Chains A and B, each alone.
Chain A
Amino acid sequence: MSVRVLLPNAFQKHTNGAKEITSSAGNLPALITEIETTFPDLKTHLRDESGQVRKFINFYVNEEDIRFLGNEKYAFQDGDEVLVIPSIAGGAFSAGEVALRGADQQRGQCHCCSYCGQEPCCCGD
């Protein structure tokens, strides 16, 4: 059983230019672990400070968003094509990540504002 995994250009800085891999992972968590094992440099970028995969990163199986297929419960089929695509302008992230983001700002790791674009923020967001 193998699936073809296509990686986005944004990953290539951390994958020595590799654009795709073949994986025998059975599901999404196993696939992510395999990607991280294959490309150790990618790991810190792929996950946030709490160790969660960043929710800006979307996974598609063939033509469907994996969230419509059961997400982590979906069992990959032989010949599946998995696309990894970052959200272009945003995406869904969890309450935990929002809280972390706020904590980062307090620690001074994040300076800009999503709305006014200023550093420091001039709009109170």
Chain B
Amino acid sequence: MAAAYELRCRECGKRYDNAPLSICDECFSPLEVAVDLDAARKTVTRASIAAGPTSMWRYQALLPVPDDSTPQTPAGWTPLLRAPRLAERIGATNLWIKNDAVCLPTLSFKDRVVAVALENARRFGFDTVGCSSTGNLANAVAAQAARLGFKTYILVPADLEPAKILNTQVYGATLVRIDGNYDHVNRLCSQIADRYNWGFVNVNLRPYYAEGSKTVGFEIAEQLGWRLPDNVVVPMAGGSLITKIRKAFKELVALGLVEDKPVRFFGAQATGCSPISTAVKNGADAIEPQRPRTIARSLAIGNPADGVYATRAIRDSGGWAEDVSDVEIVSAIQELAETEGIFTETAGGVTTAVTARLYAHERIHPDELTVACITGNGLKTTDVLQGAYEQHAAVRPRLSDFEQYLAERSEENDLVVGGAYVR
């Protein structure tokens, strides 16, 4: 391989020099980045990684960015936390949370993929970048493009959560609301990328963009003390993240940085938009597109771009996929917050609820080291919790009033059956 990385067709294998290109011109299949692991093997060690920055850029040698890049945004290196209280609640004993609800700079794992995409946008000489987005990507592109000085066009479904719209516009991005769902937006962006010389991070820059997701897998392995988990539970929208975490683990094994072992991959979707979990459950190789109807709008992709690859990754690993209702999603958001102090968005509610179900259905053994990937922050989807908590009358600033308030609360608590919290 001439460069440290190049593009290859995922189906026919045709190789391409690095370019803003995502589709093979021979068989019209998707392109993917191939990193030269033979070259990386000579320089990348656990020590060289540990000596790097406390961000995803500690893995720069394994990412498709030019050697002379000095990345500007400190995305990644988010906490991997033991989750004993959630584990106890759902019948697990060795559960961990990879918490990208606190990924910088915009509080979702999309900061990782955008960081890689925009380094390449710069390399290819674009002055304007954009994306189609269900919200988190919009925030990440807007913030990082502002820092790098790009002009930005971001296309979103018109019914997106207000917080995600505000969190895009505040960075000065041009936000275009499209009268349709994400799949409509994505199709339009494909046409725009064909027409205009813009760098669309998830269209013509997608092969580079997608590689950023590998850093979730790299970090999980390193934070576990350079070992792989038994199971990973991953939310699925387009289906890219789950395949890239798997790719990351395979690369670490190939580089000799972790011992090889079987890792099972579990996918999580909302029932209202579950084309990938449906394919997994039905044993189908083809993805049947759906019209999304769920509060988990960041996962509401009815025709998932990487769906077939995600299905294959899950099946080949011996994993499974599940989907949960909107009511379960909201309950799971509350459960994760109440037990572990992590406030996640609806996608995280999906992951948490699916994780609970996988234990309940004995798909995952309680003792197995299992990592659930939380990919976004609850502050962006507070609308789903509207009305979930009663606002009591304000208490006068007197100790006697406060004590009366406590007494009233105590009476309320006595009404809860058996002292257990019942939602």
Contacts and interface: CB of A to CB of B under 8 A. Distances in A.
A61 to B, nearest CB: 12
Given A85-B191, A114-B10, A92 B286 contact: yes
A110 B11 CA distance: 7
Interface in A1-48: 6, 8-11, 13-14, 45-46, 48
Interface string B259-299: 00000000000000000000000000111110100000000
Given A115-B313, A122-B250, A91 B25 contact: no
Contact of A68 (B240, B246, B291): B291
Interface in B298-355: 303-309, 312-313, 316
Nearest to A67: B289
Interface stretch (B88-96, B181-189, B365-373, B412-420): B181-189
B28 A112 contact: no
Contacts of A79: none
Interface string B1-33: 000000011111100000000111111111011
Interface in A44-68: 45-46, 48, 54-58, 60, 63, 65, 67-68
Contacts, number: 143
Interface residues of B, number: 58
B148 to A, nearest CB: 23
Interface SS majority for chain B: mixed
Contact of B191 (A6, A57, A67, A92): A6
Interface of A is mostly: loop
B210 interface: yes
A83 B24 CA distance: 18
Contact of A110 (B12, B34, B253): B12
B243 interface: yes
B34 A60 contact: no
A9 B108 CA distance: 32
B305 A92 contact: no
Interface in B191-248: 191, 194, 202-203, 206, 210, 238-240, 243, 246-247
Nearest to B243: A115
Contacts of A45: 25-28
Residue among B8, B33, B35, B243 with the most chain A CB within 10 A? B8
Interface string B167-192: 00000000000001001101100110
Given A60-B187, A110-B11, A90 B307 contact: yes
A116 B251 contact: yes
Nearest to B188: A63
Interface of A: 6, 8-11, 13-14, 45-46, 48, 54-58, 60, 63, 65, 67-68, 83, 85-95, 98, 101, 104, 109-112, 114-119, 122-123, 125
Q: 6 tightest CB-CB pairs across the interface, nearest first?
A: A117-B34, A89-B305, A123-B250, A92-B287, A92-B286, A86-B28
12 contacts: A45-B25, A48-B27, A56-B11, A89-B22, A89-B240, A90-B30, A90-B308, A92-B289, A116-B250, A116-B254, A117-B8, A122-B250
